[in-house]
Every structure is written in C-alpha cells, then in structure tokens.
Structure 1
Amino acid sequence: MVGFSQEARGLFIATWLAGVGLAGCGPASEPAREDEAPSPGQRALTEGAPLTTHDASCLQLQDQNTWSTYASYMTGVGPALGLSAVLQDLNRVGPVLSGLGHPPAVGYKGGFRWNDGDMSTPDWVPQALTAGVSGSSNVAFVSWHYAPTTAPEKGVRVSVADISDMSLSAVNYRHLLLVRPTSAGNFTVIPEHGGGLAWYGNYLYLADTSDGLRVFDLTQLRAVDTSATCETQIGKISTATGTVWCAYGYKYVLPQVSAYVVPSTITSPCRPKFSWLGKDTRGTTDVVLSGEYCNSSSATCPYDGSTPGLGGRLYRWPVDATTNRLQAVSGIVKPERAYLFNQPNVQGVAPIMTTTSTTSYWLSSTIYNGSLFKVSTSASATSYRALLGEWARLPEGMHATTSGTNLWTVTEGTGTDPATGGRVVFFADQASLD
C-alpha cells in the first residue's frame, strides 16, 4: 500500500473536512439511490453511523488473463479431479458442537470445531469462510494463513468441509494447499494472508491484500505426492526414482487460474486494501464483496480521514452470471457501488438475506473481543458483542445462506474450548439477529 507523507496526509484531511474532497475518492456527491439514505457529505466519521455512499470512480481492476495459460501449466501434474473427487476423500473429523460447548451467540443454531491438532496448532490460523453447493453436498471452504515467519513459506491452505447434515456427530473435512502455476508442470505457494473467500460456480476468489483478487478453479484440483520427500518441498521435484510433485505433504493442490489486480498507477487514497471478501446474490447482478481491515493504530486504511480506524470501504464487484468471472469490459472491472462502513477492525461481510435491499450487511469484527454489526444506509449500526455474551470471540469471515435463514462464521480462536474462544465454525439464525 502506498501511504501519505505527514504533510500530504495533513493536506488531505484538511481538504476533506472543508468539504471540498478529492475527486473520485470521497463520499459520493451524486443523488442517493431510491433505497439509500442521502450521503452525509464530507465530514469526520462516527463509529456506528449508517453506511456512507462512497465515490469509487477512480478505482478499477484489470484481468491478468492467465486463465488458459495457468490451466495448461498444470496438465503435466496429473489429471484434473474436481471438487467431487475431494469430497469423497475427506480425511479429518471435526466434532459437532453440543450442549454448552459453543459460543454464546445470539441466535446460535449449530456448528463444529476442528480436530485436536487444528484447534491448537500455532502454525495455521483460520481466516475466511464461504459456502455453497456441490452436487448433493453443502460445502464450506475455510482459509488458513501460515503464521510462522521463518522459511519455508507455505502460503494459504483451504479446508473443504461437508456441512450437509449438521445433526450428525461430526463434520468431515480436508485441507488443500493453494498454489500458483509458474511454468509447465510446476507451481509454488500463495504468499498471502488469506483473509477473504467468495465462491461462484467453479471459481474460488481469494483476497490479495495489496493487489486485488486471485481466482482458483475447482475443476483443476489435482492430487500430488504425500511421501516423506514432499514434507518440506513444493512443486516439481526430481528424485532417484523419477519426478514427483510436492505440496508440503498435502495430498491435493488447488491452482490459481487468473487474478484481478489494481493497476500500479492507482495509488492511495483511491487504491484500497483487499482484507476480506463476501458474496451477495440479492440484486439483479451477483457480486463479490471486498473490504478493508482498519484499526486506529497498526492497520490504518488509505481513507482514514480524521478518524483513524473508521475509514474502511466496502466494494461491490459484479459477477457475470454465465462465466462466474467478474464482469469486465476490455479486461477492466469497475465496482458497481462502494460504501464507507464506519466500523473498526472489520474481518468479514455477509448480506442480510432477510431483505432484498442491497444496502444492508452483516459485518464481522474483532473489536470488543468480537462483534457482529448489522449495518445499512438508513440506520445506525446494531451490535452483538462477545464482551456481553452476545457473539463469538475473534470472528472472521462470514457467509449468509441464500434462503435467508442461516449466518455462518468462522473464528480465529484462542485456546481449545469452543465455549470460551476456541476455533469454531458455527451458524446463527438471521431472523433472531435481524
């Protein structure tokens, strides 16, 4: 992220407060949509205030257009298996939460924890969640970022969990390693935080914090070697007995096929961060939601203005219903709409599916030990806080089912007790929260 100098930042803030603003980088001046509250104009931000319509005309994403190239690079690795094959080969068991062993969340309905090793490992930390249907199975994807700062970098892994029947005693799941093809028959890790996921069709979108969105093709899933040789290696490896493909011991790799990146000419404050993602199917066009994590100290945002931590922005990126790729004109994608969301420490987003309006959302935040915010353009935020026993500790990514019934989330977790902050995946009743 390109930052301001002190002098430039001061000039920007003074200009912003004076109500003049920066072209294409402030609250919108055009008339509000019929279902939106009017923009309050350029002013200091207030925590919990309604969503503010934001002018994102300065922003665009460019398709790197490696769809066929990256797919061709993977042909030498082995046959493309697809998600259905992996769902028949889930190797881990996550006990379903029961009794008092679950987060004290308003509207809690059910969930599961990871196996003992995944609950306690310091090496991998859960981040994002998205969900959908594959064949007859309801499936959740959860991303984990690799926490150690020493080599080797293992990047991002994704858990595939079958959540079709939450009345069973356990949920079966498996970890996959995300990879990027580098040449014919070779690949490497994805050195990202893994803070956001969104699933449309065969494509899994991943937030690339500094640059935009990476796209992975579920039809291109491939099995690789799991011998001791591969525990510490990645990609194509020559051995005494021949060539093997390694993924640090993981059996399956999910390859990147393309990416949508912010051109280098777009700089702060127009250039956003891509901290988290979501999906919204309420409007006439489906969208990938993206947004920024900001707090008042260590993770400020390009548009913090005079109220550090509250300048996070939410963007709506339109999806082509036929291809499930972003809608592009000559390779360029523009956001359908954008908002300032006036909440700190946001880690995830989901649409409020009990309404057809596309101007209301759930926001997941780690402020107050953990919070769920209901936000819209027409009302101040409603909050559910872990400190008050209303929500889970350290919540991350979210997904809202299209039926409008369930709101799913994953927690980052501390400790191993699901009731007091351990890592869990759970769902709550949206009607109870709404």
Structure 2
Amino acid sequence: MRFLTLAAFLLACGPSSETDEAAPLVESQQALTEGAPLTTHDASCLKLQDQNTWSTYPSYMTPVGPALGLSTVLQDLNRAGPMLTASTRPPAVGYKGGFRWNDGDMATTEWIPQALTAGTSGSANVAIVSWHYAPTTAPEKGVRISVADISDMAASAVSYRHVLLVRPTSSGNFTTIPEHGGGLAWFGNSLYMADTSDGMRVFDLTQIREVDTSTTCETQIGHVGSVWCAYGYKYVLPQVSAYVVPSSITSPCRPKFSFLGKDTRGSTDVVLSGEYCNNTGTSCPYDGSTPGLGGRLYRWPMDSATSRLKTVSGLVSPERAYVMNEPNVQGVAPIMTSTATTSYWLSSTRYGGALFKVSTSASRTAYLSGSSQWARMPEGMHATGSGTNLWTVTEGVSGVTSPSLGGRVVFFAAQASLD
C-alpha cells in the first residue's frame, strides 16, 4: 500500500475559479446557496487506490462453476414488469415510456431500488437497477441487481431477473456485499457500484456464476456442502476489484460515494461520483455553515480500452470536482445534448422528488414532483449517448404500490423536452 505517497495531498480542499485550475487551495468553506451554479472544487487532496484483485477474485470463483456472460442471464429472465400506461405512469415533463416491477417487487419492504445504469449486450438494450436489502435483522443479503431487457418498450411488459452481488473470500467461497448500492455505472464489461464510505467496487459482467436454488440455499450464502448458495438466487455477480480512499485521507477531503453516473462526452470517459447530504440528519464533510448543500460531484477518468480507472502508481486522481449547491441528491447524468462537461442532470428527493438541470454558468432549472413535472422519490439516472433519452428509477414512496401515485417505476423522458 502506497499511503506514504499521499502525504503531499492531505491539504484542505476548497472552491476555485472555473478558469483557474491552478488557483491556491482555500482552507475556509464558503457560504453555499441552494440552486446556485456548480462551484468548481479543488480536489487535489483526494486519491483512490486500486485494490488490484483483478486476477485473485476471479480465480477464487473458478470452483463455483464456469463463468457466464450477461447474455446467459438475458436468455433466462423470469419476471415480467408491466408497461406503464397513460393512467398508470407518473407525471414527468417529456415522458416517453416506462415499466413497473411485478406485484411482489412493487410491494416488498425487504428490498428498495436505488441506482440505474444502462447499456447493450449483443443486440439487446439492457437496464441494470440495484436494490439494497432493508431489514435490520440477520442475515444480511446485501445488494442485488435487476437485469432488464428494455429492447422493445412497445411490448406489454419488460422481462427481468434479479442477480445477487457477492464478494469472493477464498477459493470456492464468497459472501454478500453489505452496502447501500446507491450508484451504478456500466462501462464495457465492468459494472461500478458506489461503496458509501470507501469508494467504488467493480464487478465483471463476464464472471456471472450459476448457483443452487434448492430449499437448502434459501437461507445460506457461499459454499454449503457440495453446492454453492446465494439465498435462493440462481445467479451471482462477483466483485473483481475496488478503488478505495486510503485511510490516511480524512474529512473534509474524504468524501462519501452515494451515487454514480457515466459521462462519455469528453475525450476521456469518466465515472461520476457524488455525495448525498441533507439539512437534517445526513450532513456532508463540506457543508460548513449551510448543511445539506455541500455535496460534491467528482469526475474519475476511465481507460476505455480496459474499462478500468486511469491509475498512476496504483492511484487515481479526480479529473475535476464541483460543489453541487443542491440537497438530497440521489443520482447524476450528463446533459448529452451539450458537449460541455460542466452541465448535468441531478436527481433529488428534495421537495418529495425533483430533477435539477445544473451547470457552472447558470442557476438550476427545476422540475418538481409537487408541480407534476417529475416523479416522486427519484434515484439513479442514465442518459443515452445519443442525447435522446434520460432514464431514471424511483425507490417508491413507502407503502405506495400505485405507479402513478409514487410506486416504484423505471421510465425515460425526452432530453429535448427538458432542455
């Protein structure tokens, strides 16, 4: 571990001029204003370290069975999510289409949807949604993802299947991942997931394994006798590595990783990461005198050839960072109709649900659920590369199963209508 190389970076981070990236660090935090333009933030103190288990973790999974690709799961989808209609869809400016989950997934209190990312597998368009396990009693089932085939949004339903995320622990064994699963970003075969306190975990979509679904496995995880179990799930997706904030980096430099996004607008693809904070019980390190507004947004450069973050001596530096000046942010997506990498969509549960259009040059534009402009309780987002559609998932209002009134949905809207 190269913690000694980080000593030079343990300085106070602060705002800087958008046009002067070499501006000196500011040690005191400025007052923040809700809805103000993004503030450029000096993040030179922050680094991520590659845990470098890219070979070790897959080798641990070899005894479990042959590695399967995402295409195998797409041929074995076992649930149907009805399409939303004019009477069942939530209100949203530019709404184009969407689906809800099946009745059991709409009503369950054990699992709650969080993040969304999307991409292609062969000829299929695919959405991947994460769910975190809600009960506080054992066993901890961690995070699952829903793999949904969204190729034909004119059909009567979307087919999908849940897959459990796991972390290999030794040869032939694995365990659950007790995280919130608040953010996803899909690049190539790599699926990035936010690890709230520590950074980002990475999963390889070519390393899916089929496991046992007998009664024996419904309450167990890992190697059990002669079989492998995953609490009854048929497929597991194993972690292959992680990028973590070294323990020597502390607050306020050390951020939270609440949500993720994918930005392909610039010369280098980036993973976006951001902090959720509010003005009541969940503060952020940079909140200062205005709690809830100091959530930061980071751009992490990607090596497109490997779908891994760009490292120097095993360390990753953020390409750019901003203070969002928005509370309760749950997701981010780039505004693909703009080539500037200084403008974004932010998904927020502020006001019961909102979509904010933000940039470094103008105050926000808000689409509010209370004004029937956006869905309630929105979470992760994905903007299609063409700049056509903006996808989002909602976590659902507690106890509500009607999709038009705040129940869990996945939908997309026209970016042009929102611009």
TM class by shorter chain equals over 0.9
Match of 1:100 among 87, 91, 95: 87
Q: In structure 1, what is the Cα distance between the partners aligned to 2:272 and 2:121?
A: 22
Instruction: State the partner residue of 1:31.
Output: 19
**Match status 1:360 vs 2:348:** no
**Match status 1:427 vs 2:412:** yes
Provide the secondary structure at the position in 1 that maps to 2:30: coil
Provide the secondary structure at the position in 2 that maps to 1:220: coil
Question: In the TM superposition, what is the alpha-carbon distance from 1:23 to its structure 2 partner?
Answer: 4.3
Instruction: State the partner residue of 1:348.
Output: 331
Instruction: State the partner residue of 1:178.
Output: 165
**Equivalent residues in 2 for 1:313-392 (5 A)?**
313-392=296-375
**Match status 1:213 vs 2:196:** no
**Match status 1:77 vs 2:64:** yes
Question: In the TM superposition, what is the alpha-carbon distance from 1:416 to its structure 2 partner?
Answer: 1.1
Q: In structure 1, what is the Cα distance between the partners aligned to 2:29 and 2:228?
A: 54
Instruction: State the partner residue of 1:410.
Output: 393
Q: In structure 1, what is the Cα distance between the partners aligned to 2:107 and 2:401?
A: 6
**Equivalent residues in 2 for 1:43-58 (5 A)?**
43-58=30-45
Provide the secondary structure at the position in 1 that maps to 2:308: coil
**Match status 1:151 vs 2:138:** yes
Instruction: Please report the TM-score for the alignment, with normalisation by the length of structure 1.
Output: 0.92
**Match status 1:254 vs 2:209:** no
Computed over aligned residues only, the root mean square deviation of the Cα atoms, in angstroms, reads 1.2
Stretches of structure 1 that go unaligned for 5 or more consecutive residues are: 1-21, 34-38
Question: In the TM superposition, what is the alpha-carbon distance from 1:251 to its structure 2 partner?
Answer: 0.1
Question: In the TM superposition, what is the alpha-carbon distance from 1:100 to its structure 2 partner?
Answer: 1.9
Higher mean displacement: 226-235 or 99-108 = 99-108
Tell whether the 8 Å contact from 2:60 to 2:170 is kept in structure 1 after alignment.
Answer: yes
Can you list the C-alpha shifts for 1:291-324, whole angstroms capped at 9, x where unaligned? 0000011110011011000000000000001100
Instruction: State the partner residue of 2:285.
Output: 302
Can you list the C-alpha shifts for 1:226-265, whole angstroms capped at 9, x where unaligned? 0000000000001xxxx00000000000000000000000
Q: In structure 2, what is the Cα distance between the partners aligned to 1:227 and 1:433?
A: 48
Q: In structure 1, what is the Cα distance between the partners aligned to 2:269 and 2:379?
A: 22
Instruction: State the partner residue of 2:211.
Output: 224
Match of 2:384 among 401, 410, 424: 401
Match of 1:128 among 102, 108, 115: 115
Provide the secondary structure at the position in 2 that maps to 1:219: coil
Letter in 1 for 2:401: T
Stretches of structure 2 that go unaligned for 5 or more consecutive residues are: 1-9
Q: In structure 2, what is the Cα distance between the partners aligned to 1:23 and 1:255?
A: 36
For these two proteins, the number of residue pairs brought into alignment is: 403
Higher mean displacement: 66-75 or 412-421 = 412-421
Q: In structure 2, what is the Cα distance between the partners aligned to 1:72 and 1:179?
A: 14
Question: In the TM superposition, what is the alpha-carbon distance from 1:32 to its structure 2 partner?
Answer: 3.9
Question: In the TM superposition, what is the alpha-carbon distance from 1:43 to its structure 2 partner?
Answer: 2.7
Tell whether the 8 Å contact from 2:269 to 2:301 is kept in structure 1 after alignment.
Answer: yes
* Identical amino acids, percent of aligned pairs: 79
Runs of 4+ in 1 over 6 A off after TM superposition: none
Tell whether the 8 Å contact from 2:293 to 2:325 is kept in structure 1 after alignment.
Answer: yes
Can you list the C-alpha shifts for 1:87-120, whole angstroms capped at 9, x where unaligned? 0000000001012210100000000000000000
**Match status 1:91 vs 2:74:** no
Instruction: State the partner residue of 1:3.
Output: none
Question: In the TM superposition, what is the alpha-carbon distance from 1:180 to its structure 2 partner?
Answer: 0.1
Provide the secondary structure at the position in 1 that maps to 2:261: strand
Letter in 2 for 1:381: R
**Match status 1:285 vs 2:268:** yes
Question: In the TM superposition, what is the alpha-carbon distance from 1:31 to its structure 2 partner?
Answer: 3.5
Tell whether the 8 Å contact from 2:18 to 2:40 is kept in structure 1 after alignment.
Answer: no
Q: In structure 2, what is the Cα distance between the partners aligned to 1:120 and 1:285?
A: 41
